[in-house]
Amino acid sequence: MKEIQLVKPEKVKEEAYQAYIREWQSAEEEIIPHASIPKSKKFEEQVENWRREELGLGIPEGWVSGSLFFLINRAEKVLGAVHIRHELTETLFQRGGHIGYGIRPDERKKGYATEILKLSLREARELGINDVLITCDDDNPGSYKTIESNGGVRDPQDAEENGVLVRRYWIR
**What is the block-wise mean pLDDT of the chain (172 residues), using blocks of 10 residues?**
91 97 94 92 95 93 94 97 96 92 96 97 96 94 95 91 91 94
Q: How close are the terminal C-alpha atoms of the chain, in Å?
A: 29
Domains of the chain, start order? 4-129 (3.40.630)
pLDDT at residue 6, rounded to an integer: 97
Q: How far apart are CA 137 and CA 159, in angstroms?
A: 9
* Peptide bond preceding 33 in cis form (omega within 30 of 0): yes
Q: State how far the Cα of 88 lies from the Cα of 104, in Å rounded to an integer.
A: 26
pTM of the model as a whole? 0.94
pLDDT score at 141: 93
- What pLDDT does residue 1 have? 61
Asked if 139 and 118 touch (Cβ cutoff 8 Å), the reply is no
48 vs 10: CA distance, rounded Å: 8
